[in-house]
Amino acid sequence: MKDWYPHKGVDVYVPDPTWPLHRNLAELSGFKWKNYRYYNPKTKGLDFEGMKADLKAAPKNSIFLFHVCAHNPTGVDPTPAQWNDFLDIVKTNNLFCGFDSAYQGFASGDLEKDSYSLRLFAEHTDNIMLFQSFAKNFGIYGERAGCFSVVTDSPA
């Protein structure tokens, strides 16, 4: 992927903690990865201020990986208002966002509600990609079923 991404010298930022595969995928794609603050073990909740600070501090055009819902491994998700704040920073810094969706419907029991973050970003930015797994939703956990989608304003 690094060969096709038009902005050179940027890194992929992954939440701390995240599923180990995310770091490996960044490396396999030719990128270095960095953690961004996500989970606060003291409050057992989202490190909202830390995450905002890390989004703001990242160089323009950096790539951020988000979990659409049911963050793995913490289960902690931003509120809609917090997602709106993150979107503002993403737009200001022209960040490219990758969304991992493996548990849609598992966080709230509602497929629409659980896709809030992805729909919000798709409506307001055109620099996103989606890694969507259906293995859990379809009850075929040992299989690999899903899709990869990219939304961008550039044909290049």
Tokens 């509600």 belong to 113
Active site residue 57: no
* Options 47, 54, 77, 100, the catalytic residue: 100
Active site residue 136: yes
As a whole number of angstroms, the distance between CA 42 and CA 25 comes to 29
* Options 70, 77, 102, 114, the catalytic residue: 102
Active site residue 102: yes
* Options 34, 85, 107, 136, the catalytic residue: 136
Closest CA to 22 of 102, 122, 108: 102
* Options 11, 19, 52, 85, the catalytic residue: 19
Active site residue 19: yes
Compute CA distances 59 → 11, 87, 94, 119, 123, whole Å.
9, 16, 9, 25, 23
**Active site (catalytic) residues:** 19, 100, 102, 136
